[in-house]
């Protein structure tokens, strides 16, 4: 089946009693175990609504299986801890989501895990690997600088060294990128973003092989970050329109990025779809679309004044919804990282992250242009 058909139909549990075409919401936390192969329990990640949405993601990501978590960080932290323990070493990109970075810097030491941060080039990632490395963690495109990583090169090296390769695929979504096809072992999502897509639920997801999932599921059952059935139903409903939403948002993002790149009040635009972007050629090779996230820096102006001058685009810390949102990562997603470290990796105080929604691109451009003119008397 094609991806649009998968998004609509895969995993749906048809109601045999009423004939309903949507998966019913099973709120029961106690199920009769007689004559069943396994006990069904929400904390075991095997309730009907959990199964339905997990099967949909697995099919979209070309994975054998998937799990749905109560948050993206629940999914990421469980996946890492399943394959890294006391005495092990993890290689992780330095310019990735602030929550993952914070987890590594503040909590790895409690588990006896050593971590080395690396730049986004595959060569630098490979160079940082040691005989004790058990996990490599990457994002592509990265949050918030949209750096593009050579996924296939890193995945191939990881397989040769028997290292587990984990990628956060939130920014791309399975519509624009399927890392398992490129050799990645474990794909993680903050489902709060594009999978949910309506800014009305918090969840995370993991997709991988059945073999890799064994340890993740075993640990997850103990940690307990499972998603409740009502949220699962909401997520399943949202994922049916994933392809339509992300495709339209990606088209909008290309239009907006081109406008910003040509504006004299904008110093720099970070978007893989721009031919001037450093990772453009790699993105063309491994992505089917360039995504709906972009970041940019103003030329000598206060980002707070710019945000306050917007009327259509909302200031918000999340992303991936149908509405366009904007935020300064230095004070939101990366606030727990020291200023010195933020400046080193390029997440400066002047950087703005823009999540493009489903509004008409011309309306978004008019809003951005008006705000740029308002804060800059020279343009």
Helices H / strands E in the chain, number of each: 14, 12
Cα(261)–Cα(280) distance, integer angstroms: 15
Segment 71-110, tens digit of pLDDT: 999 999 999 999 999 999 999 999 889 899 999 999 999 9
Q: What is the pLDDT of residue 307?
A: 96
Output the CA–CA distances (angstroms, integers) from residue 80 to 40, 64, 92, 353, 377, in the order listed.
26, 19, 11, 27, 49
Q: SS3 of 358, please? A: coil
Q: Bridge partners of 67?
A: 206
Give the bridge partners for 126, in sequence order.
none
What mean pLDDT is predicted for residues 251-272? 98
User: Is the per-residue pLDDT at 51 higher than 60?
Assistant: yes
The pTM for the full model equals: 0.95
Residues 6 or more apart from 236 whose CB is under 8 A from it? 11, 12, 23, 49, 52, 53, 56
pLDDT-derived band at 61 (thresholds 50, 70, 90) equals very high
Locate 169 and state its tokens.
């695929």
CATH number, domain 3-239: 3.40.640.10
Q: Are 142 and 271 in contact (CB under 8 A)?
A: no
pLDDT above 60 (res 378) = no
Residue 270 is predicted with a pLDDT of 98
Higher pLDDT, 350 or 296: 296
Q: In what order do the strands lie in the sheet with 351-355?
A: 266-270, 293-298, 351-355, 325-327, 314-315
Average pLDDT of the residues in 52-66 = 99
Q: Say if residues 103 and 336 touch (Cβ distance below 8 Å).
A: no
Residue 35: pLDDT over 70: no
The CATH number fitting domain 242-375, selected from 3.90.1150.10, 2.40.160.60, 3.40.50.10320, 3.40.30.10: 3.90.1150.10
Report yes or no: 195 and 180 within 8 Å, Cβ to Cβ: no
Q: Domain coordinates of the chain in residue numbers?
A: 3-239, 242-375
For residue 153, pLDDT over 80 is answered with yes
As to burial, measured by CB atoms within 10 angstroms (0-12 exposed, 13-18 middle, 19+ buried), residue 91 is buried
Q: Residue 37's pLDDT is what? A: 62
CB 73 within 8 A of CB 98: no
Residues 203 and 195: beta-carbon distance below 8 Å: yes
More confident of the two residues 279 and 334? 279
Residues 6+ apart with CB under 8 A from 294: 146, 253, 256, 257, 260, 269, 270, 271, 353, 354, 356
Locus of tokens 């069943």 = 36
Using an 8 Å Cβ cutoff, are 22 and 12 in contact?
A: yes
């Amino acid at each position: 089946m094609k991806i649009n058909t998968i998004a609509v139909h895969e995993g749906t549990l048809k109601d045999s009693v009423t004939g309903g075409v949507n998966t019913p919401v099973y709120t029961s936390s106690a199920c009769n175990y007689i004559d069943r192969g396994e006990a069904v329990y929400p904390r075991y990640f095997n309730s009907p609504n959990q199964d339905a949405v997990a099967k949909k993601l697995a099919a979209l990501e070309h994975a054998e299986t998937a799990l749905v978590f109560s948050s993206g960080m629940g999914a990421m932290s469980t996946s890492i801890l399943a394959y890294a323990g006391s005495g092990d070493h993890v290689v992780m990109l330095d310019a990735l989501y602030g929550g993952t970075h914070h987890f590594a810097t503040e909590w790895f030491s409690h588990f006896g895990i050593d971590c080395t941060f690396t730049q986004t080039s595959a060569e630098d990632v490979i160079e940082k690997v040691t005989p004790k490395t058990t996990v490599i963690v990457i994002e592509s495109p990265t949050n918030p600088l949209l750096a593009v990583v050579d996924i296939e090169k890193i995945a191939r090296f990881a397989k040769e060294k028997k290292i587990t390769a984990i990628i956060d695929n939130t920014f791309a979504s399975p519509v624009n990128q399927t890392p398992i096809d490129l050799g990645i072992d474990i794909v993680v999502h903050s489902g709060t973003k594009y999978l949910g897509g309506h800014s009305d639920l918090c969840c995370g997801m993991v997709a991988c092989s059945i073999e890799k999932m064994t340890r993740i599921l075993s640990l997850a059952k103990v940690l307990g970050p499972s998603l409740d059935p009502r949220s699962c139903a909401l997520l399943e409903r949202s994922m049916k329109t994933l392809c339509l939403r992300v495709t339209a948002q990606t088209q909008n993002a290309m239009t907006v990025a081109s406008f910003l790149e040509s504006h004299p009040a904008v110093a720099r635009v970070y978007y893989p779809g721009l031919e001037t972007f450093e990772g453009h050629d790699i993105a063309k090779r491994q992505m089917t679309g360039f995504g709906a996230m972009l970041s940019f820096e103003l030329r000598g102006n206060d980002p707070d004044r710019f945000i306050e001058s917007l009327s259509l685009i909302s200031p918000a810390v999340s992303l991936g919804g149908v509405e366009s949102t904007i935020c300064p990562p230095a004070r939101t997603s990366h606030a727990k990282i020291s200023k010195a470290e933020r400046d080193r990796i390029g997440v400066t105080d002047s950087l703005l992250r823009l999540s493009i929604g489903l509004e008409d691109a011309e309306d978004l451009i008019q809003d951005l242009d008006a705000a740029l003119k308002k804060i800059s008397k020279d343009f």
